[in-house]
Amino acid sequence: DFRHFRETPHDTFSRIGPHPHSHPRAAMSASCPCAVVALACRAAAGVTPCRRARRATVARASTKLEQPACNEKGMYDGTVLFHVFPQLTPPTPIFSTFLEGALHVAEVAKSHPAYATAHFHEAHDSEKALRELPHGYLAMTLFSCAPEVLWTTFEDLKECLDIGHNGQTHHPLVCRETSAFPGPKSALAQAPHGKVRYAETDATVVVVINAGTNDDVEKSWTEWSGAEEARRVCGDESFLGATLHTCIDTEAKYTHVVRVELGNADDETVEAVVRHATTRCAKLVNGTDQSTKLANGDSTKNGFVVEAYRVAFNVEKKGTPAGALFAVRELQKKARENEKEKVAFEAKAAAKSAQA
């Protein structure tokens, strides 16, 4: 049902949910060669200029390949690969910065035959990312294949993870989407493979948890993840929905991942949802309420992570190389700043002329 998608007067944004708002941003090494930057400029059409629109229409599917990626349960029918980074140290000697390594992985992933799109998350508080603090970034990649065959379909992908994150503690989580709130279908399942885009203006709280053998975790996920609280504080006009993902790897560090999409929420609202989820996760995992301590500390050691993000960039299969995305974004931001300065200068000149 595409009745809830709305056109904007701006460029081509595909929002993936039945809601009036949207969301998403990535980066590259400062040492990116000039040739790559030049290529990025020529291919800028492949980059989503995230700040220019809120939400656009996903065209009605016209062929079988363009049908929504929806299974019989109304969930996304492919794989959601989350990559959690508690360490943002340089993966030397191969790469000199964290982002160089991470974006190398993003570029290699595009060669996977089932690759759909990737969505590189940056901390909602950008200073956390700039200072390379734990969990300053998070990667999310969508594939059209089943989670069970992700690695075997393209073995180079797993190898490149070790190269791009050499010497780091990092957690690739191969997940299946299992529930949506408010539902009944998830937002991902309502868009065709390869058509998902997020807007940079939207905030997303990501909750990663090791629930162990707790059988009730999937029954109560909307409460402990902060999804219900987010809907309450954001209101239906801003809240975009939440999804629960279950990790299929029994040896993985975490068992579940939840994305709670807040829309264009203010900082106070985002922080309130983070506090709520932190409190509930502490109680779920440890049996006690340690919210005050954990909100200011490292919850990783307690079996869960709660962080607020924005999607820095949507990485499409074709178009600008992943390593050049940061350069393109900086050029776009500089152009916007120059335009604002020009408008301010002309307004000042007009005011002086009127006084003369």
- How much is the pLDDT for 295? 40
- Averaged pLDDT, 212-237: 90
Helical spans, DSSP H, in the chain: 34-42, 98-109, 126-130, 150-153, 155-164, 221-224, 227-234, 267-286, 291-295, 325-355
Q: For residue 200, give both structure tokens.
A: 């940079």
- Averaged pLDDT, 231-251: 94
- How much is the pLDDT for 233? 95
User: What distances in angstroms separate CA 36 from CA 32, 98, 144, 335, one per listed residue?
Assistant: 7, 19, 29, 19
- How much is the pLDDT for 13? 31
User: What pTM value is reported for the model?
Assistant: 0.74
The mean-pLDDT minimum among 88-97, 110-119, 215-224, 296-305 falls in 296-305
Decide if pLDDT at 149 tops 60: yes
State the virtual CA torsion across 341, 24, 118, 229 in degrees, nearest 10: 160
Instruction: Please give the mean pLDDT across all residues of the chain.
Output: 79
Query: What distance in Å separates the CA atoms of residue 346 and residue 308, rounded to the nearest whole number?
Result: 38
Query: What distance in Å separates the CA atoms of residue 237 and residue 330, rounded to the nearest whole number?
Result: 31
- How much is the pLDDT for 191? 92
- How much is the pLDDT for 67? 86
Q: Report whether 53 contacts 24 (CB < 8 A).
A: no
User: What pLDDT digit, counting tens, does each position of 295-309 carry?
Assistant: 434 445 568 999 999
User: What pLDDT digit, counting tens, does each position of 254-269 carry?
Assistant: 999 999 999 999 999 9
Query: What distance in Å separates the CA atoms of residue 124 and residue 237, rounded to the nearest whole number?
Result: 21
Q: What is the DSSP string of 144-212?
A: SS-GGGHHHH-HHHHHHHHHHTTT---EEEEEEEEEEES-SS-SGGGSBTT-----TT-EEEEEEE--T
- How much is the pLDDT for 33? 32
Decide if pLDDT at 11 tops 50: no
